[in-house]
Amino acid sequence: MKNQITVPLIKAVLGSLIIIVLIRCQSHRANNNDITNTKLSASKPCEGELENGKKTGSWTCFFANGKVSTITHFKQGIKQGEFIAYREDGTKDVQNYWLDGMMHGLLSSFDEKEKLILTTELKMGKHHGYTREYSTNGILVYECNYNENFRHGPCRGWYEFGQPKFNSQYNKGTLEGEYWDWYLNGQVRSKGIIDVTSKKETWEYYNEQGTRITKKHPLLGS
């Protein structure tokens, strides 16, 4: 009926990405008792400048193999600006931006070949703007707008090679208006109209040959 698999999956991926960023950022929490110089030596897990005992500018943390793990920017001890996390083989994993200690702006995730696989826009730690997912071929397969963590506006999906998969609309997290989804062969799988005001839905379902197999008029949420 609705995109009950795709949307929760994207939410899980986004949640995991944010957790990864937060965990990787924790590697910059150096023990202040160990800081005796204005710049930590390369033998330390992290190195960067201090100003009045607070981190400032670019700080770099390292894996045990010596490769860069994360690069974080600070202003008076608060994350400010670009953050990049790398894998142990040196490839870029995640890139995002911080404003006054909160994730703000574009968050991007990359695969092992550093191909872009997902982007999401954030506003002071909340999903705000478009989230987009890409296939291994670089084709856009998911695009959904968010407003303060709620899906709001168009939400669309495509198959791996660009064929339409679903098309929907949200209003502050609630599915409303027209909903369509398609089989890989291009035939309509289902289509619906959700009227939030009257709390009524109309759904039609089709087989892969295009024959309608059922029509339903459930109450919204039933």
Is 193 domain-assigned? Answer: no
Is 79 domain-assigned? Answer: yes
Average pLDDT, the chain: 85
Separation of first and last alpha carbons in the chain: 13
User: Can you give the CATH number for the domain in which 22 is found?
Assistant: 2.20.110.10
- Boundaries of domain holding 114: 6-28+42-136
Q: Could you tell me what percent of the chain has a pLDDT over 70?
A: 78
Is 53 domain-assigned? Answer: yes
Is 149 domain-assigned? Answer: no
Q: Is the pLDDT of residue 187 over 70?
A: yes
Is 155 domain-assigned? Answer: no
Is 75 domain-assigned? Answer: yes
Torsion of CA 55, 60, 63, 68, to 10 degrees: 170
pTM of the complete model: 0.79
Q: Could you tell me what percent of the chain has a pLDDT over 90?
A: 70
Is 21 domain-assigned? Answer: yes
Most confident of the following: 33-37, 89-93, 195-199: 89-93
Query: pLDDT per residue over 25-76, tens digit each?
Result: 555 444 333 333 334 344 568 999 999 999 999 999 999 999 999 999 999 9
Q: Is 126 exposed, middle or buried (0-12, 13-18, 19+ CB in 10 A)?
A: middle
If one counts the domains in the chain, the total is: 1
Distances (CA, A) of 136 to 110, 121, 141: 10, 21, 10
Query: pLDDT per residue over 123-160, tens digit each?
Result: 999 999 999 999 988 999 999 999 999 999 999 999 99
Q: Is the pLDDT of residue 12 over 60?
A: no
Is 118 domain-assigned? Answer: yes
Output the pLDDT for position 200. Answer: 87
Output the pLDDT for position 47. Answer: 93
